[in-house]
Amino acid sequence: MEKCVSIIIPCYNEEEVIRTTLDRLTAFCSSQPDYAFELLFVDDGSSDRTPALLRQAAVDDARVRVLYFARNFGHQIAVTAGIDASTGDAVVLIDADLQDPPEVIAGMLEKWRDGYDVVYATRISRPGESAFKLFTARAFYRVLNRLSEVPIPLDTGDFRLMSRPVVEVLKNMPERHRFVRGMVSWVGFRQIALPYERAERFAGTSKYPLRKMLRFATDGILSFSVKPLQVSIAMGLISALFAMIGIIYALGLRMFTATWVEGWTALMIAVLFLGGVQLLSLGIIGEYIGRIYTEVKQRPLYIVRETIGFSENGAAEHSAACPTSATARTRK
């Protein structure tokens, strides 16, 4: 039997590029006669013509399925919804902006045939991106690797292939603050890198401005490491040591010399230093507590407003794409 491959494409306001993306993906699928494909688009609450274009694509090509979110839930949640809804023996994650060339998937399929469960694409270069973005991205991956308890590949995004066993494990990981590339590393199995040249953005703008990048980086670090808590403990110990040295110094001056500590400068420095350490430590602890609060509410991870290519009971319709398989409309 031919193997089935699900290609998951999260979309958010991609009307400028979505037609070209569809053409590139369908051309790639046609070049791989040994596989059946489903193209699973997840519309993350787009406000432009992306939903209408995807609807037409589903009419034109039986391999296209679409999940429409009730609102914008974010890129990582859209990727998760696609993973939940996928039916293939292997699942490929790729963005719609064509910075990750669909043709690279052919190399992933070769590695999969060789027995690897995860094939992650590692960027050799990132043309068209600012020096600031390149520096911060490079620094983030290296800091994350130093802090994380699980090694996470450097310079690697979500563009990857995963076998069905890996997908089934991911579907049983319910955390809300999701960092998918880290979760895949944590799962284990046989993994291998596939270097590739990243392309420039075909059209549109980045969906990750600085604010979202910082939030994403925070999720990545706090989801895979408790070292920030250990750092806050170390800072507390260091500040306590300095305070003890200051106390001994002040007592020594008072008892053995005629000079008293009269100025307010030393006092203000000590107060500000200790206050800063305490506030920073409270902030780190607060971030972890906030994640606990989000987890215990147990709200659905996402809400699907509408589906195309799925039957009323949530199963993928039998077509030229992958065989029928059950899928959830919301994740709890």
C-alpha 192/C-alpha 186 separation (Å) is 14
C-alpha 237/C-alpha 243 separation (Å) is 10
Q: What is the pLDDT of residue 325?
A: 43
Q: Residue 329: pLDDT band by 50, 70, 90 thresholds? A: very low
Range in 20-24, 79-83, 241-245 the model is least confident about: 241-245
Average pLDDT of every residue of the chain: 76
C-alpha 121/C-alpha 12 separation (Å) is 22
Q: What is the tally of helices (H) and strands (E) in the chain?
A: 10, 8
What pLDDT digit, counting tens, does each position of 75-100 carry? 888 989 999 888 888 999 998 888 88
What pLDDT digit, counting tens, does each position of 160-180 carry? 899 999 999 988 887 777 888
Cα 263 from chain centroid (whole Å):
52
Total residue length of the chain: 332
Local structure of 64: helix, strand or coil: strand
Percent of the chain with pLDDT over 90: 11
Phi, psi of 2 (to 5 degrees): -70, 145
Distances (CA, A) of 96 to 39, 41, 204, 207: 12, 9, 11, 11
Q: Residue 296: pLDDT band by 50, 70, 90 thresholds? A: confident
**Which residue did the predictor score with more confidence, 50 or 288?**
50
What pLDDT digit, counting tens, does each position of 121-145 carry? 888 876 656 666 666 666 666 766 6
Instruction: Please check the confidence at residue 328 and state whether its pLDDT lies above 50.
Output: no
C-alpha 310/C-alpha 9 separation (Å) is 17
Please give the biggest Cα pair distance in the chain: 93
Nearest one of 227, 83, 80 to 143, comparing CA atoms: 227
Q: What is the pLDDT of residue 176?
A: 78
What is the mean predicted confidence (pLDDT) over 201-230?
60
**Which residue did the predictor score with more confidence, 36 or 200?**
36
Q: What is the pLDDT of residue 225?
A: 61
What is the mean predicted confidence (pLDDT) over 295-304?
77
Give me the amino acid identity at 109: L
Alpha helices, DSSP H only, in 67-209? 75-85, 105-113, 131-147, 164-171, 180-187
Instruction: Please check the confidence at residue 327 and state whether its pLDDT lies above 60.
Output: no
Give me the amino acid identity at 77: I
**Which residue did the predictor score with more confidence, 260 or 257?**
257
Nearest one of 63, 94, 62 to 78, comparing CA atoms: 94
Q: What is the pLDDT of residue 182?
A: 80
For 142-173, give one letter per residue: b (16+ CB within 10 A) or e. Answer: eebeebbeeebbebbbbbbbbbbebbebbeee
Percent of the chain with pLDDT over 70: 60
What residues contact 244, with CB distance under 8 A and at least 6 apart?
A: none
* pTM of the entire predicted model: 0.67
| Residue listed under structure tokens 């994640």 | 291
Give me the amino acid identity at 138: R
Q: Residue 288: pLDDT band by 50, 70, 90 thresholds? A: confident
**Which residue did the predictor score with more confidence, 217 or 296?**
296
Instruction: Please check the confidence at residue 213 and state whether its pLDDT lies above 50.
Output: yes
Q: What is the pLDDT of residue 165?
A: 92
Nearest one of 290, 277, 163 to 223, comparing CA atoms: 290
Q: What is the pLDDT of residue 222?
A: 61
C-alpha 195/C-alpha 176 separation (Å) is 30
Q: What is the pLDDT of residue 9?
A: 92
What is the mean predicted confidence (pLDDT) over 39-57?
90
Q: What is the pLDDT of residue 7?
A: 92
What is the mean predicted confidence (pLDDT) over 245-260?
66
Q: What is the pLDDT of residue 304?
A: 87
